[in-house]
């Protein structure tokens, strides 16, 4: 929890990531600063790169962070599915000058079953899938198809027909989808400042769910993706893949209340928060959209352009570094 009572870490422009992590989880953990580039011993990638932090121990970090919308999550076992995640926001000097109200929206998928049960459900073939697989194979036999490729596609067709779905989305049947740890039965209502100028920092912290962000009556401008500035794009609906972050500038058009929905791909289920001018009444929001959301696609990615040119991959590959944690780079002189 930060000093404002909100989860996560918020750093000021130029501030170092100088953190003592006290492991009070009661079990060992590893924390990863997703998207940041600290010295590799502080990166929180699992053993053998970095050993886990035993219960009760403190681990210290000190590095110069990259400005933008980032997040932290456990990289130990299945702790991430147990919501061991939080926002990591590094403000830039430009953020301060822009003087926009910052609203962080972190998404999660939640189950009352343990992460181990969820994993077991994914790794054991269930009876209906086995039956479909069998009927697909039988069809291929009858058609006399000898090639493995044809058999595979026949099997897929049979599975798709049997399930009535064109695609395989959402392998886990979650009990709830959370926006800042709440669902639409009792969503977070963010009261906006006069003028309603918001920087919405979207973070998909879900373990196995992709969302469509629906700004409803609002139009936003995407200005950063995964922490890095992009050429501004006007949007009303945005795909948000797992672990992805999007920064969206929104100017509220009036003094009303405006829901920001996150709808699960392939489903009607949604979660969200509400941006509301002070005093504006907030009506109850349905937890289901009128129609299933399409699969998350590359419609946004295709339009993205970095605000500053990216360093060529080759220059990065040739940069001297320690190849033990980063096999893509070269030792000097080699």
The encoded tokens of residue 111 equal 């189950």
The shares of helix, strand and coil residues in the chain, as percent rounded to the nearest 5, are: 20, 35, 45
Contact yes or no for 232/307 (Cβ under 8 A): no
**Cβ at position 258, least distance to Cu ion in Å:** 30
Burial class (CB in 10 A: 0-12, 13-18, 19+), 184: buried
At CA 293, angle to CA 287 and CA 296, rounded to 5? Answer: 125
Peptide linkage before 48 cis (omega within 30 of 0): yes
**Cβ at position 190, least distance to Cu ion in Å:** 26
Q: Which residue's CB is nearer to Cu ion, number 90 or number 158? A: 90
Q: Which residue's CB is nearer to Cu ion, number 34 or number 270? A: 34
**Cβ at position 80, least distance to Cu ion in Å:** 8
Which residue number has the CB closest to Cu ion?
34
**Cβ at position 262, least distance to Cu ion in Å:** 19
**Cβ at position 32, least distance to Cu ion in Å:** 5
Q: Which residue's CB is nearer to Cu ion, number 32 or number 100? A: 32
Residue ranges in contact with Cu ion by CB under 5 A: 34
Q: Which residue's CB is nearer to Cu ion, number 242 or number 321? A: 242
3-state secondary structure of 41: helix
Question: Is the alpha carbon torsion for 163, 165, 166, 171 positive or negative?
Answer: negative
Q: Measured over all CA atoms, what is the biggest interatomic distance in the chain, rounded to whole angstroms?
A: 71
211 membership: H or E segment, kind and range: strand 211-214
Q: Which residue's CB is nearer to Cu ion, number 67 or number 84? A: 84
Q: Which residue's CB is nearer to Cu ion, number 34 or number 59? A: 34
**Cβ at position 33, least distance to Cu ion in Å:** 9
């Amino acid at each position: 929890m930060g000093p404002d009572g909100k989860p996560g870490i918020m750093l000021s422009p130029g501030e170092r990531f100088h953190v003592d992590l006290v492991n009070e989880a009661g079990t060992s953990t590893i924390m990863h600063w997703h998207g940041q580039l600290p010295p590799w011993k502080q990166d929180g990638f699992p053993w053998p790169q970095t050993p886990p932090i035993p219960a009760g121990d403190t681990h210290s970090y000190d590095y110069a962070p990259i400005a933008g919308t980032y997040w932290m999550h456990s990289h130990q076992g299945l702790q991430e599915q147990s919501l061991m995640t939080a926002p990591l926001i590094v403000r830039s000097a430009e953020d301060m000058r822009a003087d926009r109200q910052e609203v962080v929206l972190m998404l999660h998928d939640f189950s009352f079953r343990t992460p181990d049960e969820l994993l077991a459900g994914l790794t054991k073939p269930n009876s209906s899938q086995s039956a479909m697989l069998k009927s697909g194979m039988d069809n291929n036999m009858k058609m006399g198809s000898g090639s493995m490729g044809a058999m595979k596609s026949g099997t897929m067709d049979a599975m798709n027909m049997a399930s009535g779905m064109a695609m395989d989305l959402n392998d886990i049947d979650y009990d709830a989808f959370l926006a800042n740890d709440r669902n639409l039965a009792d969503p977070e209502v963010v009261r906006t400042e006069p003028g309603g100028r918001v920087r919405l920092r979207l973070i998909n912290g879900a373990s196995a769910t992709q969302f469509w962000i629906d700004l409803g009556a609002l139009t936003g401008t995407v200005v950063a993706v995964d922490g890095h500035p992009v050429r501004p794009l006007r949007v009303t609906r945005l795909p948000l893949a797992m672990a992805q972050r999007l920064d969206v500038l929104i100017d509220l058009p009036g003094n009303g209340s405006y829901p920001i929905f996150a709808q699960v791909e392939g489903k009607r289920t949604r979660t969200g928060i509400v941006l509301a001018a002070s005093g504006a009444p907030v009506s109850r929001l349905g937890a289901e959209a009128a129609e299933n959301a399409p699969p998350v696609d590359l419609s946004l990615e295709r339009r993205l352009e970095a605000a500053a040119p990216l360093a060529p991959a080759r220059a990065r590959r040739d940069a001297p570094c320690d190849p033990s944690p980063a096999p893509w780079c070269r030792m000097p002189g080699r």
